[in-house]
Amino acid sequence: MLLEGKSAVIYGGGSIGGAVARAFAREGAKVFLTGRTLATLDEVAGEIRSERGVVDTAQVDALYETAVEEHADAVAASAGSIDISFNLISQGDVQGTPLRVCLVVATPIAFCSIEGSTTVAKLTYLAITSLDGYTADEDGNFDWAAPDEEVHAFVNDLARPLGTYLYGRRMYETMVYWETAHTLADQLPVEQDFTEIWQAAEKIVYSTTLETVSSARTRIEQDFDPDVIREMKASAQRDINVGGPDLAAQAFKAGLVDEIHLFVAPIVVGGGKQSFPDDISIKLELLNERRFGNGMVHFQYRTRA
């Protein structure tokens, strides 16, 4: 990881500061979020914490004083040193400057202006697969992939920071269940949680046959254009997930996928719908693994160029 062992203080937990904090944390930095608004900072810190395995929760602190120098002193005292300071200073803080991004590498402070926004959305692929690599068996059955409560809670935490789902039509037809799941009796707390997470996210369904959708925050696209997804990643404030092996295959082939979350179920099904297409070759870096009581194992990989 690029920033392993580095300490970074980020002033401002809004959209830009939050995106920078998430990016630094993913690269292994010890992140200190600082700023004036407690609620916003807590929200961003919570999101970073929820990305299990990427950020140690102990690596995120929120300090609430206002002066940059005070933050710097406090962080330096706590971390031992500051390697990177990323400060967003809005109009009023710095006379005559509409928006400034101050990137400070150690001290002394040096200012540089950056126009526009800084975003770092990832495209992730999450699949629950058999040990031999299928998301559904030859009969289309995938009841063996149903997560128990422990796995479900883990999946919820992975899904919580996502802003948008890109779905192949078939995967959408499975997942749209969550649009009305809250109306069912006896929902488990993890299911209620996922229902809220899913309903809050934006969805794009890729289909040449669907004419209407039955969920909110959902639109249909008739064509999967990699350039459009690249632009989406460049401007999105939250991460994006691609779901459905057929659609995901196109994202892999276009080199768009940044991370894979693979849940391997303890079963061999012998054939069916492959989780990954045949004709791709991607080097991966293992970021995290976890075993669950039901025998499933989660692997988190980052794709490498």
Interface with ligand NAP (CB under 6 A): 128, 135-136, 140, 142, 145, 168-171, 174, 206-210, 222-224, 244-247, 250, 273
Pairing of β 273-274 and β 259-265: unpaired
Contacts with 175 (C-beta within 8 Å, 6 or more apart), sequence order? 165, 167, 198, 243
Gap between the Cα atoms of 126 and 20, Å rounded: 23
Residue with smaller CB distance to ligand NAP, 21 or 249: 249
Residue with smaller CB distance to ligand NAP, 170 or 233: 170
Q: How far is the CB of 126 from ligand NAP (least distance, A)?
A: 9
241 DSSP β-pair partners: 124, 165
Q: How far is the CB of 213 from ligand NAP (least distance, A)?
A: 12
Residue with smaller CB distance to ligand NAP, 170 or 230: 170
The alpha carbon of 222 is separated from its chain's Cα centroid by a whole number of angstroms, namely 25
Q: How far is the CB of 56 from ligand NAP (least distance, A)?
A: 29
In our burial notation (b when 16+ CB lie closer than 10 A, e otherwise), range 184-203 reads eeeeeebbebbbebbbebbb
Residue with smaller CB distance to ligand NAP, 128 or 256: 128
Q: How far is the CB of 178 from ligand NAP (least distance, A)?
A: 12
Residue with smaller CB distance to ligand NAP, 253 or 290: 253
Q: How far is the CB of 173 from ligand NAP (least distance, A)?
A: 8
Least Cα distance to 51 among 29, 26, 27 occurs for 26
Distinct helix (H) and strand (E) counts, the chain: 8, 15
Shortest Cβ contact with ligand NAP: which residue? Answer: 244
